[in-house]
Copies of this chain bind each other. A is one copy, B any other.
Amino acid sequence: MVTLKQLAEQLNVSVSTVSKALHNSEEISKDTIQRVKELAKHLNYQPNRMALSLKSNKTKTLGVIIPNVLNHFFAKALYAIEMEATKQGYNIITCLSNELLSKEKESLLLLSNGSVDGFIMSIAEETQVENNMEHISAILNKDIPVVLFDRVAEDLDCDKVIIDDFGASYEATKHLLKEGRKHIVHISDIDELSVGKLRKNGYLKAIEEDANYKNDPIFINIGKEDDLEVVIDDLFKSHKNVDGIISSDNTSGVVAQHKALKLGYNIPEKLSIIGFSDDNVLAFTDPKLSTISQHTMDIGKATVELMIERLNQKNSTKHETKTIKTKLILRGTTK
């Protein structure tokens, strides 16, 4: 890499003159500025990032910790975060916790040595299950800003971006009730997560509120070890009269639809399905799956925006929780 020193030597001026010239300092003569800039351009001079960071104590880099990139929601969130960060002049260092507390801890620790200006993260499953947030508090105590998205923790005092999981699920269930469904099942593979619990409760509330709904709620939890397809097969065996399904994750709604069609259920006449899916699965469904759209791009964008705001006014203005609107999109699997 070309350095200021090299430019200075070639031009027979001092390093500081070169530095000032490149910053268009008023102190430097027009002529010198031009000579410096020409040579800099000619030699493709780029200021050394590490030196700048060391000096300014800013890295212009954000640490992003994602539980699982193979999950479409998180891939899309990462996409949105990268876009917005780039737009704002930040790079992102990506770490994947793979739902593990240990990996999450390690990433946080390793990057808190001046590698990043702040962390954007969604909490790993294991972390939520064990409810162990000390590693995150530790970061906050060091005055490194953290913005949580999607999977957040009540007790952490930091900025957050969430959706109204409870409300979205409540509304979707209401819709099924309005259709006159009498045996509505809630399927989830994220029962242990904050968002999973909220979604489940939204469903529950809608059902309990409905005086005309006489049956018990039915919860199908897909465990870590379970085979999604087997569980859903079993569901249809044990609850032949199911007429409504709400799925809390990206895939189980789609699989349920396939299985139901294969078993001869008439969708949406006899059975309605609503999923928390992104549109990447739509091509695999017929009729097209009705979904709760999470506006993942907006989530990612808001997360970065909150972070940048925080970085620009490090004084302790109150922490903010931004709720991104969801939207119930009715397609072919609902009446």
Chain A residues within 8 Å of B, Cβ to Cβ: 1, 46-51, 53-54, 59, 61, 64, 69-70, 72, 75-76, 78-79, 82-83, 86, 91-96, 98, 103, 107, 110-115, 142, 228-229, 251, 254-255, 258, 262, 280-281, 283-284, 286
Query: A141: shortest Cβ distance to chain B, in Å?
Result: 10
Residue of B nearest to A78 (CB): B69
Q: Is the CB of B94 within 8 A of A82?
A: yes
Query: A83: shortest Cβ distance to chain B, in Å?
Result: 7
Query: A65: shortest Cβ distance to chain B, in Å?
Result: 11
Residue of B nearest to A77 (CB): B69
- Which of B48, B79, B254 contacts A69, CB < 8 Å? B79
Query: A79: shortest Cβ distance to chain B, in Å?
Result: 5
Chain B residues with CB under 8 Å of A75's CB are 69-70, 75
Q: Which label, helix, strand, loop or mixed, suits the secondary structure of the A interface?
A: helix
Q: Is the CB of A112 within 8 A of B54?
A: no
Residue of B nearest to A142 (CB): B1
Chain B residues with CB under 8 Å of A54's CB are 48, 50-51, 54
Q: Is the CB of B69 within 8 A of A114?
A: no
A-B contacts, 16 listed (Cβ < 8 Å): A1-B113, A46-B114, A50-B53, A50-B54, A51-B54, A51-B114, A69-B82, A70-B75, A82-B95, A83-B98, A86-B95, A86-B107, A92-B93, A93-B93, A94-B94, A258-B286
CA distance A248 to B83 in the complex (A): 28
Query: A58: shortest Cβ distance to chain B, in Å?
Result: 10
Q: Is the CB of B113 within 8 A of A46?
A: yes
Residue of B nearest to A107 (CB): B86
With A92-B93, A94-B82 in contact, is A114–B262 under 8 Å at CB?
no
Chain B residues with CB under 8 Å of A53's CB are 50
Known: A82-B94, A86-B103. 6 other contacts (CB 8 A): A1-B114, A46-B113, A61-B93, A69-B79, A70-B79, A228-B283
Query: A120: shortest Cβ distance to chain B, in Å?
Result: 12
With A50-B59, A54-B48, A96-B79 in contact, is A229–B283 under 8 Å at CB?
yes
Residue of B nearest to A54 (CB): B50
Residue of B nearest to A252 (CB): B283
CA distance A111 to B72 in the complex (A): 27
CA distance A66 to B72 in the complex (A): 16
With A70-B79, A283-B229 in contact, is A49–B114 under 8 Å at CB?
yes
Chain B residues with CB under 8 Å of A251's CB are 283
CA distance A257 to B143 in the complex (A): 54
Q: Closest 4 interchain pairs by CB?
A: A46-B113, A94-B94, A50-B53, A50-B54
Residue of B nearest to A259 (CB): B286
Q: Is the CB of B110 within 8 A of A91?
A: yes
Residue of B nearest to A228 (CB): B283
With A76-B70, A95-B82 in contact, is A112–B284 under 8 Å at CB?
no
Residue of B nearest to A115 (CB): B49
